[in-house]
């Protein structure tokens, strides 16, 4: 049985399974791999950014292929483009332009509201064009290989989990302070200087703030892992933008079927969207899946998720979390959610962890 080791132990990186599954991330910490967003700045975009959105995406597809070859070469030891030789317009600039277009017809997440957030309109998440950060600090409570993690909490969310453990942030789009891309970059760089092993974008959820986060990378210069900590209910277009700038993914895989997702998080078509995005993340980076075990949702959610992960993402790490407690609407109206109005029992956890072991999944009993 494999387990995450605690952050206060340097043994975490002596575990061969951790090292194998997070090899590139470790390489960035040791400064012999480059964070991908930096490599995006090396690749020239020859198309005018005034082109149509369709043309921008066509060029993005072309540069995606070149980028894959470039990263492979760099990881094999080829010399990186000199910082003095950076192109005037880069692959990253192209992504920033496309993110700005998405903001005008918002479909950062699968709710696809289609509102023009640059004109003051707001969609389901109630966010306009500005991003707000409620707090940012060195987090030592994340998974052991990630700590200390430079965690940045964005206001609002594109989910409506009735048991949200972070409701003060996720349900208040006005909390915290507005951050411009340059300010977000300064925040990320200062967290890195303080010792962060990664820049951890979370919330609420980072998805509605994709434009600000990607734009901030134009101002960032540190070789530090960019980490996406999300419900992963993003659109395919958002995933296409993120896959070349995010090094490590920390997605929540919450439900094993659409009915539970719709009832408890107000999210439609959950399995198709989130499984698609997990596969895209797995294809493009290193992944630690988080699964919060819910009481009475073992056979309908936990077990199907573990089985899907073992079939489709055998090389990722999974943090199976047992700290669920009834919060938010479940705490104030437990009669409406009787199935999840208590903590998870030890029998339920045992059943989940035994199935994870049978499937050969690398799991963690700690968070």
Nearer to ligand SF4, 157 or 197 (CB): 157
Shortest Cβ 30–ligand SF4 spacing (Å)? 36
Shortest Cβ 55–ligand SF4 spacing (Å)? 23
Shortest Cβ 187–ligand SF4 spacing (Å)? 21
Shortest Cβ 126–ligand SF4 spacing (Å)? 8
Shortest Cβ 107–ligand SF4 spacing (Å)? 5
User: Contact residues for ligand SF4 (CB under 6 A)?
Assistant: 106-109, 111-113, 115, 123-125, 127, 158, 207-208
Nearer to ligand SF4, 148 or 206 (CB): 206
Nearer to ligand SF4, 26 or 132 (CB): 132
Nearer to ligand SF4, 242 or 294 (CB): 242
Shortest Cβ 124–ligand SF4 spacing (Å)? 4
Nearer to ligand SF4, 198 or 230 (CB): 230
Show the 3-state SS of the chain: CCCCCCCCCHHHHHCHHHHHHCHHHHHHHCCCCCCHHHHHHHCECCCCCCCCHHHHHHHHHHHHHHHHHHHHHHHCCCCCCCHHHCCCCEHHHHHHHHHHHHHHCCCCECCCCCCCHHHCCCCCCCCCCCEEEEEEEEECCCCHHHCCEEEEEECCCCCCCCCCCCHHHHCCCCCCEEECHHHHHHHHHHHHHCCCCEEEEECCCCHHHHHHHHHHCCCCCCCCEEEEEECCCECHHHHHHHCCCCCEEEEECCCCCHHHHHHHHCCCCHHHHHHHHHHHHHHHCEEEEEEECCCCCHHHHHHHHHHHHHHHCCCCEEEEECCCCCCHHHHHCHHHCHHHCCCCCHHHHHHHHHHHHHHCCEEECCC
Nearer to ligand SF4, 160 or 222 (CB): 160
């Amino acid at each position: 049985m494999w387990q995450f080791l605690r952050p206060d132990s340097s043994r975490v990186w002596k575990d061969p399974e951790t090292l194998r599954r997070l090899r590139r991330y470790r390489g960035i910490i040791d400064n012999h791999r480059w964070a991908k967003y930096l490599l995006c700045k090396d690749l020239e975009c020859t198309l005018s950014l005034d082109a149509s959105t369709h043309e921008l995406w066509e060029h993005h597809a072309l540069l995606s292929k070149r980028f894959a070859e470039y990263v492979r070469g760099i990881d094999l030891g080829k010399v990186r483009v000199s910082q003095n030789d950076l192109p005037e317009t880069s692959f990253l600039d192209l992504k920033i332009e496309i993110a700005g277009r998405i903001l005008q017809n918002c479909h950062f997440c699968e709710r696809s509201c289609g509102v023009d957030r640059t004109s003051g309109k707001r969609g389901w998440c109630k966010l306009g064009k500005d991003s707000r950060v409620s707090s940012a600090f060195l987090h030592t409570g994340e998974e052991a290989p990630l700590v200390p993690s430079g965690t940045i909490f964005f206001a609002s969310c594109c989910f409506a989990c009735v048991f949200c453990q972070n409701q003060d942030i996720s349900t208040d789009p006005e909390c915290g302070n507005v951050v411009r891309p340059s300010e977000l970059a300064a925040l990320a760089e200062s967290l890195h200087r303080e010792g962060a092993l990664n820049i951890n974008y979370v919330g609420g959820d980072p998805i509605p703030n994709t434009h600000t986060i990607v734009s901030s990378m134009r101002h960032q210069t540190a070789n530090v892992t960019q980490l996406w900590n999300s419900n992963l209910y993003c659109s395919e277009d958002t995933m296409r933008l993120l896959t070349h700038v995010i090094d490590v993914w920390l997605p929540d895989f919450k439900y094993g079927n659409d009915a539970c997702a719709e009832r408890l998080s107000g999210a439609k078509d959950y399995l198709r969207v989130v499984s698609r995005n997990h596969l895209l993340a797995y294809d493009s980076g290193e992944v630690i899946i988080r699964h919060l075990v819910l009481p009475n949702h073992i056979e309908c959610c936990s077990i199907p998720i573990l089985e899907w992960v073992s079939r489709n993402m055998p090389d990722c790490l999974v943090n199976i979390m047992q700290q669920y407690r009834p919060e938010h609407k479940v705490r104030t109206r437990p009669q409406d959610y009787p199935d999840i109005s208590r903590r998870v029992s030890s029998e339920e956890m045992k059943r989940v962890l035994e199935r994870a072991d049978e499937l050969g999944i690398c799991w963690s009993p700690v968070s």
